[in-house]
Chains A and B, each alone.
Chain A
Amino acid sequence: SAHGHKGRNPNRSKNPKNAQDALKVAEAAAETLSTDPKQGCKKHELYVSFRDLGWQDWIIAPEGYAAYYCQGECAFPLNSYMNATNHAIVQTLVHFINPETVPKPCCAPTQLHGISVLYFDDSSNVILKKYRNMVVRACGCH
């Protein structure tokens, strides 16, 4: 429930009225979806340039890296490519019923991978270091 009821109401699931509510939700969603072309959650280009920062006198490689970012709607029904967690699917349903109280799930990275950077230190020693979680590989609804 959206209002934070702690205890479970034993009679809720047997009430036929809930089943009708769920049906109405599904129908309403189908209509809304067709009229609202907002883009679903997906990966977008975002390039971070060390060269443009004027750092090429100490960073040997790379000149920059494609970091990407995630953006888009996590709206009902969550599409297959949105890598939605079960929780996100349920949260989307609840948001659909109570938009003011429960937000839609977030569009965020679900897989990240690292990059390596080769650079000089102040003494001209050369350092090659791996940095984790720098590049978005996949986005999803959470």
Chain B
Amino acid sequence: NITLDNEVHSSFIQRRLRSQERREMQREILSILGLPHRPRPHIYTKQNAAPMFMLDLYNAISTDGQQPAGFSYYKPVFTTQGPRMVTQQNSIFLNDANMVMSFVNLVELDQDVLSSRHNREFRFDLSRIPEGEAVSAAEFRIYKDYIGEHYENETFHVSVYQVLQEPPDSEEDLFLLDTRVVWAIEEGWLVFDITATSNQWVVNLDQNLGLQLALESMDGQSVNPRLVGLVWGRGPRDKQPFMVAFFKGTEVRLRSVR
């Protein structure tokens, strides 16, 4: 529906649209948005790809790209800002990107899929990325809650792996992407750079076997990630792990014949 400025006689004539015309109009607007059809997201899964984080990104660029003074930056990993925030790094990615996408973790929220090494698995479907878009930056994010005095002075290694191969085709083959040392008492988002991995997945969709996260004590003992406050599954929706990717695309879209 397009409302008009009535002050001046306008060449638009308000009339009732036939349903075919309505569909044609909506298809035209969808084609401007680069969409083949009107998306129909499922009501129950709408929270799973961190829409609030993405809304923060949207607000960041909707103020004409200038970073609003009060905007919530945080130091590399931990902060008391609460569940969702955009890093200064993200703002830099944002300025260069023409598209950002956050992906739903396909591993069932309440399914404790632990691999043979008690690692926690995560999978993301990158097959829906519009053509011509290249990943300029990508992050895997998981939230760590404060867990009280039990492990007070302990530190742990949190490592993220790319799954290269997995049974039944072969032995499980993992490639270490990043490792972080975390204090038990700290709280906030852990952000892991997975740009190279994401680009590989976009180019070869069938090589996308997901990520694995491992938690070890300082003496190398495998620890259940949940025990030190890493959130997934039953945890709050806005603290669920997700992946976000920034894209730089060609932006050349040819209009089809009408």
Contacts and interface: CB of A to CB of B under 8 A. Distances in A.
Chains A and B are bound partners: yes
A48 to B, nearest CB: 6
Contacts of A130: 61, 97-99
B100 A127 contact: yes
Contact of B251 (A49, A53, A132): A132
Interface residues of B, number: 42
Contacts of A32: none
Contacts of A117: 33
A63 B182 CA distance: 41
Contacts of B26: 53
A118 B102 contact: no
Interface stretch (A1-9, A14-22, A38-46): A38-46
Interface residues of chain B: helix, strand, loop or mixed (majority): loop
B62 interface: yes
Interface stretch (B36-44, B136-144, B151-159): B36-44
A125 B49 contact: yes
B1 A123 contact: no
Interface string B97-108: 111111110000
Interface stretch (A54-62, A77-85, A89-97, A98-106): A54-62
Contacts of A123: 41, 45, 104, 125, 128
Contacts of A46: 2-5
A110 interface: no
A129 B51 CA distance: 14
A116 B57 CA distance: 10
A126 B101 contact: yes
Contacts of B7: 44
Given A120-B46, A121-B39, A128 B57 contact: yes
A47 to B, nearest CB: 5
A62 B63 CA distance: 13
B49 A58 contact: no
B76 interface: no
A44 B100 contact: no
Given A57-B41, A121-B128, A124-B42, A49 B3 contact: yes
A117 B61 CA distance: 10
Nearest to B4: A46
B5 A124 contact: no
Interface string B4-20: 11011011000000000
Interface of B: 1-5, 7-8, 10-11, 26, 29, 32-34, 38-42, 45-46, 48-51, 54-55, 57-58, 61-62, 97-104, 125, 128, 251
Closest 7 CB pairs of A and B: A52-B1, A45-B5, A120-B41, A124-B45, A128-B100, A118-B58, A126-B54
28 contacts: A44-B7, A46-B3, A46-B5, A48-B2, A49-B2, A49-B3, A57-B41, A58-B39, A58-B41, A61-B58, A61-B62, A116-B61, A117-B33, A118-B55, A121-B128, A122-B39, A122-B41, A122-B128, A124-B41, A124-B45, A124-B49, A125-B102, A125-B103, A126-B51, A130-B97, A130-B98, A131-B32, A131-B34
Given A121-B41, A129-B34, A131-B32, 6 more contacts: A60-B58, A71-B10, A125-B125, A126-B49, A128-B61, A130-B98
